[in-house]
Structure 1
Amino acid sequence: MKVEIIKCLKDNYSYLLINEKNKNACVIDPSESKPIIDFVEKENINLKFILNTHHHYDHVGGNNELKKKYGSKIVGLNMIKIEYQK
């Protein structure tokens, strides 16, 4: 297992947990999608899961685009409606 720290927004970080054998990964708290997409594409990662620790925008802002692009499953919340999530 490998952990990559991805800088997002001005003062946030998201974390990628990567299985080095099969390149499957989970992103934790993707506040924005672009830095995550850039890394995933560069490293040929399979983004399987999006884990949110809570509902604030600086933790879920990248959910929609990442889910749409990679078909990732969103996990970790009580799945109550998040106003930023469609």
Structure 2
Amino acid sequence: MNTANLQLEGVLLALSRLLETMRNKGLLTSGEIETALAEAEDACRRDAACRTISPGQAEGVLFPIRFLRAATNRQEGPSPTFTDIATSIGEDKDRHG
């Protein structure tokens, strides 16, 4: 596996935990986190650079945002692994095309 991918996994897991901590401390609501990430995904879709790359590359750009959305929208319980979240994103994409 590419080292950059492993680094991205670590950064995404760390960011998801930070967002959860902010929510748990009342610094951000679940709605505020979801809105911010939805706005980031929308901005990416509107970006001309994202529209000129291949669909696979665009999915790669959107993946970190989708990861954080999935990680912060989960139910209470043990923290999911990177693989758990990535799999759920892939399954969701397959269901919604």
Which category describes the TM-score, using the shorter chain as reference length?
Answer: 0.3 to 0.5
TM-score by length of 2: 0.32
More helix by share: 2
Larger C-alpha radius of gyration, 1 or 2?
A: 2
More strand by share: 1
TM-score by length of 1: 0.35
